[in-house]
Amino acid sequence: MRLVIDAGNSTIAAALADDGHLLATDRRPIAEATDPERLATALSAALGAQVLETSAVEAVVLASVVPAATAAVTAFAAHRGLDLIVAGPDTIPIAVRLRHPAEVGPDRLVNAFAAARLHGVPAVVVDVGTATTWECVDAAGAFVGGAIAPGLRLGLDALAERTALLPRVSVDLPASAIGRDTVSAIRSGTVLGHAELVTGLTRRIVTELAERCGVAPEAVHTVLTGGLSATEWSEAPDGFETVDPDLTLRGLALLPVVSPAIAR
């Protein structure tokens, strides 16, 4: 059994996985993953005491964009004598057709790898988290780029923090696009507006990827993932074939112990 961990800027997602299948999953604030002891406590509370038993867990697989979380998970695995696989260009079996493969976030590469393995190619993955990212996989299964935008909650936080009078609001979808008060206006412009951003840019990216691959746009698989994909907000963006909130964790569960050499 593996312990798979996706450490993002806002949350840490973790799961126990056996033979590529997730057995239990949980998400916690990233602050709980920046110290080895606090991490152990959080994992035990989230997934059960068996995550601390070396007889139950044979390896830890990590994708992290937070250096402090990477250090904490590394110390956690070393203290328990567990093998640690850190996701990156050298451990994820996917070709990266970019000038600087090392600059791509490991979560984005895992998303691309998972989409190719689980949903088919060509594919576009949209991960709606702290940042909203688009990952493009061509017909040969290679990562060929994408896009990055500020995430929905980041936009809401910025409005509240950088203005004098605008309130902090939840990510609930508004009843209509025309807001009748300040809160509903913010939800229209930001919450509904982010769904329109995702819908519109995904459509454009799908068209470009289809042309590049020589296929019809309908042949491009589209996957929505990330924290917001597990909320009612995921019903707002149009045109997605699959909503898979645990795509990154599922990709980590499928990583080989030793990746083959990948031509770049």
| pLDDT score at 56 | 82
| 107 included as an active-site residue | yes
Q: What is the mean pLDDT of residues 152-158?
A: 96
Classified as helix, coil or strand, 14 is strand
| pLDDT score at 261 | 43
Distance CA(142)–CA(208), nearest Å, equals 15
- In the chain, the N- to C-terminal Cα span, in Å, equals 31
Q: 12 pairs with which residues across the strands? A: 7, 28
Residue 107: which of 137, 77, 127 has the closest Cα? 127
At 125-138, the pLDDT tens digits run: 999 999 999 999 99
At 67-114, the pLDDT tens digits run: 999 999 999 999 989 999 999 988 999 999 998 988 999 999 999 999
At 241-262, the pLDDT tens digits run: 999 999 999 999 999 875 444 4
Neighbours of 113 (CB within 10 A): 26
pLDDT at 49 exceeding the cut of 90: no
More confident residue, 134 or 50: 134
Residue 145: which of 100, 175, 185, 190 has the closest Cα? 100
At 209-241, the pLDDT tens digits run: 999 999 999 999 999 999 999 999 999 999 999
- And the tokens for 17? 């996985």
Active-site residue, from 19, 83, 90, 107: 107
Cα 214 to Cα 49, 129, 138, 207, 220, distances in angstroms: 50, 31, 10, 10, 11
Give the sign of the dihedral formed by CA 216, CA 244, CA 183, CA 174.
Answer: positive
Give the sign of the dihedral formed by CA 95, CA 147, CA 172, CA 193.
Answer: negative
Cis? peptide before 122, omega within 30° of 0: yes
pLDDT at 52 exceeding the cut of 60: yes
Distance CA(67)–CA(168), nearest Å, equals 29
% of the chain beyond a pLDDT of 70: 97
Contacts 24+ apart (CB under 8 A), 131-135: 131/9, 132/194, 132/197, 132/198, 132/226, 133/105, 133/108, 134/201, 134/202, 134/205, 135/108, 135/109, 135/111
Distance CA(264)–CA(262), nearest Å, equals 6
Report yes or no: 225 and 245 within 8 Å, Cβ to Cβ.
yes
Burial 138-172 (b: 16+ CB within 10 A, else e): bbebbbbbbeebebbbbbbeebeeeeeebeebebe
Distance CA(185)–CA(170), nearest Å, equals 12
